[in-house]
């Protein structure tokens, strides 16, 4: 697969920075045409230029994933423009941390809307073109917080745990259609989101990680590349923790 018409087409949400940007670069390097989705069009344009400079293919779709009509139109336009949609990576996410007794309805709902409901909307819209193409890979980016919970992140943990249930249900429904759905659950990864954490919190995270370091975005991107690749067709409904061993303790 080397030309525009035969490359598999992948959508990556939350692609403007961090894990999403690295996933997009990695998939482009694996001969995917990557559709970059996020709200910040300027950042997406910079990433597209970098991907193309490296010999990859990418296009930009500025989209608010919490706007259902906008997200569905983005997926529909991708199918219309390229005649296919093969890969969906739901990476978009936010945090609104607070202790449960202090957490507002708005803080809970906003995280669920962005981190979980948008993935539901995107998966539902993407399944039809995948079924027509008789091939598909869905990877939803969860978190170790969705596996073990985290104090001060009841909203985030609930959304990330919800992604696991959503993904496994899709995997069971779509297995006979040659569509695989899996979860990647990162631990503490060096991104803008974790950079803002107090140093004490980061130190504790490293101490809780058997590999004694924080992960890098490319660690997560490598897992996504495998699960969206040609050789992962018999892997579905799985949760791959990319966490340096944190959740095995």
pLDDT in tens, 173-218: 999 999 999 999 999 999 877 777 788 888 888 999 999 999 999 9
Rg of the chain taking only CA atoms, in angstroms: 17
Could you give the CA distance from residue 149 to residue 101 in angstroms, rounded to a whole number? 16
Query: Is 226 part of the annotated catalytic residue set?
Result: no
b/e map 57-81, b = 16+ CB within 10 Å: bbbbbbbbbbebebbbebbeebbee
As given in the structure block, the two tokens for residue 67 are 């706007």
Q: How confident is the model at residue 2 (pLDDT cuts 50, 70, 90)?
A: very low
* CA gap 114, 109 in Å, rounded: 9
Active-site residue, from 82, 108, 156, 188: 156
Beta bridge mates, 139: 89, 182
Query: Of all residues in the chain, what percent are helix, strand and coil, respectively (each to 5)?
Result: 55, 20, 30
pLDDT in tens, 146-171: 999 999 999 999 999 999 999 999 99
Q: Tell the burial category of 222 from Cβ atoms under 10 Å away from its Cβ (0-12, 13-18, 19+).
A: middle
| Reported pTM | 0.95
Those residues whose C-beta lies under 8 Å from the C-beta of residue 176, and which sit 6 or more positions away, are: none
């Amino acid at each position: 697969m080397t030309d525009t018409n035969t490359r598999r087409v992948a959508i990556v949400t939350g692609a403007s920075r961090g894990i999403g940007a690295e996933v997009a670069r990695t998939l482009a390097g694996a001969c995917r045409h990557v559709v970059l989705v996020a709200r910040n069009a300027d950042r997406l344009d910079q990433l597209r230029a970098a991907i193309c400079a490296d010999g990859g293919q990418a296009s930009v779709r500025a989209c608010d994933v919490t706007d259902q009509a906008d997200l569905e139109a983005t997926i529909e336009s991708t199918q219309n423009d390229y005649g296919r949609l093969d890969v969906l990576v739901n990476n978009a996410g936010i945090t609104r941390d607070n202790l449960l007794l202090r957490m507002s309805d708005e803080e809970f709902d906003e995280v669920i809307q962005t981190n979980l409901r948008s993935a539901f909307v995107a998966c539902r819209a993407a399944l039809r073109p995948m079924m027509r193409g008789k091939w598909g890979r869905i990877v939803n980016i969860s978190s170790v917080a969705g596996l073990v919970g985290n104090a001060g992140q009841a909203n985030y943990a609930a959304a990330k745990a919800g992604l696991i249930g959503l993904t496994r249900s899709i995997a069971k429904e779509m297995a006979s259609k040659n569509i695989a759905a899996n979860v990647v659950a990162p631990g503490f990864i060096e991104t803008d989101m974790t950079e803002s954490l107090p140093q004490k919190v980061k130190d504790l995270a490293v101490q809780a990680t058997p590999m004694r370091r924080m992960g890098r975005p490319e660690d997560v991107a490598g897992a996504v590349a495998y699960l969206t690749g040609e050789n992962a067709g018999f892997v579905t409904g799985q949760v791959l923790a990319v966490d340096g061993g944190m959740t095995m303790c």
